[in-house]
Amino acid sequence: MKKLKTMNKNTKSNMITYLMVIVAYVIVQIFVVTGNMSSLMEGLLVPVCTYVILAVSLNLTVGILGELSLGHAGFMCVGAFASALFSLGMKDSIENDLLRFIIAIIIAAVSAALAGILVGIPVLRLKGDYLAIVTLAFGEIIKNFINAIYLGVDANGLHFSMKDTMDLGMGADGTVLIKGAQGITGTPKCSTFTIAVILILISLVIINNLVNSRTGRAVMSIRDNRIAAESVGINITKYKLIAFTISASLAGVAGALYAHNLSTLMATPKNFGYNMSIMILVFVVLGGIGNMRGSVIAAILLTLLPELLRGLADYRMLIYAIVLIFMMLFNWSPQFINFRKKMMAKIKKDKKAEKEA
């Protein structure tokens, strides 16, 4: 107990976040095991976790590094395709599902990190709106590039083309792994809620520890005052690149989760386009920029909301948008914040009066 009191405020806040995730996990597991969970909810568990990881990882770029990135879905796309390709190719070689999935996740993280470095080197020289626009463009480029890839394997090895499947020139025994716009089909379904929650915890630990480290402080100093940071000898490009790459690689992990939850993987504007990037950004902004716990909660709520509104049929996207606007106002509008403060003060006053009386 004493330890808890002397604990650093940051550490305490982080512990609350971890505890929250674990408690939520336990509650949900109880519902699943006792069979009280609807199949819709059960099917949503892994996607929700995927979006939580995406939101948390983007919060690193937006909240801690202070740069607006609109290409986050592109890194998710890289991770998704890299891991799905590995799983499909190794389906017969590695029998153990869990082992194969873990390797796939690592591959996703590494490949997305590589993409992050490649994109980061030119992009991070820019700042503000310019950076946002260029990341948006890179996100789209990644998606369109993957849409043009044809990859097959036969007895002679791998065949690659950017044109069509005939151009691969494979033997009769060949199988096409990536089929251009049709993407990858037949990814084994390995994503489970337990693995997803463990990945959320790992992401949170990585990000929280990074933020409270020497590197994290350097990154935040760049956010707060670039010139001052540079003048005390902080290598701006290096620290920016570190934060950006970690953010990208965690997005890749989320991509692996996504890919192994569905048997089909296509890079459509819907799932890996800028719509998705903006969606993740909405989670981050709504949850509070720089606030990891907020991102987790916002991602959970906003992923569940459209599905819970299914009863409203065609009106649900309309209602969803209205709810978004209201939530945004409630969280960020100065008037609302004043109003909230006033109400809180009033409640406190009433309580005090009650006690005194």
Partner 1 sequence: MKMKKLLSLVLTAAMTATLLAGCGNAEGSADVATTTDGSAVFKIGAIGPTTGSAAVYGTAVMNGAQIAVDEINAAGGINGMQIELNCQDDECDAEKSVNAYNTLTDWGMQALVGTTTSGCCVAVAAEAAADNTFLLTPSGSAVECIAYDNAFRVCFSDPNQGIASAQYIGQNGIASKVAVIYDSSDVYSSGIYEKFAAEAANQGIEIVAAEAFTADNKTDFSVQIQKAKDAGAELVFLPIYYTEASLILAQADQAGFKPMFFGCDGLDGILGVENFDITLAEDVMLLTPFAADAQDELTKKFVATYNEKFGETPNQFAADAYDAVYIIKAAAEKAGLAAGMSPSDVCDALVPVMTEITVDGLTGEGMTWSADGEPSKAPKAVKIKDGVYTAM
Distance CA 239, CA 222 (A): 8
Is the CB of 50 or the CB of 69 nearer to partner 1? 50
Q: Is 161 in the site for partner 1 (CB under 8 A)?
A: no
Residue in 7, 12, 15, 43 binding partner 1, rule: CB under 8 A:
43
CB 221 → partner 1: shortest distance, Å?
34
Q: Is 144 in the site for partner 1 (CB under 8 A)?
A: yes
User: Which residues have C-beta within 8 Å of that of residue 25, sequence separation ≥ 6?
Assistant: 193, 194, 197
Distance CA 117, CA 15 (A): 31
Compute CA distances 141 → 29, 63, 103, 177, 301, whole Å: 40, 25, 27, 21, 30
Phi first, then psi, for residue 171 (nearest 5°) are -75, 175
Residues composing the chain:
357
Q: Is 118 in the site for partner 1 (CB under 8 A)?
A: no
Residue in 63, 120, 180, 252 binding partner 1, rule: CB under 8 A:
180
Distance CA 184, CA 91 (A): 13
Binding mask 248-287 for partner 1 (x = CB under 8 A): ----------x--xxxxxx-xxxx----------------
Closest-CA residue to 271 (of 191, 171, 183, 164): 183
Q: Is 314 in the site for partner 1 (CB under 8 A)?
A: yes
Q: Is 182 in the site for partner 1 (CB under 8 A)?
A: yes
Q: Is 216 in the site for partner 1 (CB under 8 A)?
A: no
CA atoms 47, 52, 53, 59: torsion sign: positive
Residue in 110, 118, 148, 210 binding partner 1, rule: CB under 8 A:
148
Residue in 7, 15, 27, 121 binding partner 1, rule: CB under 8 A:
27
Q: Which residues bind partner 1 (CB under 8 A)?
A: 23, 27-28, 31, 35-44, 47, 144, 147-148, 164-166, 180-183, 185-186, 189, 258, 261-266, 268-271, 307, 310, 313-314, 316-317
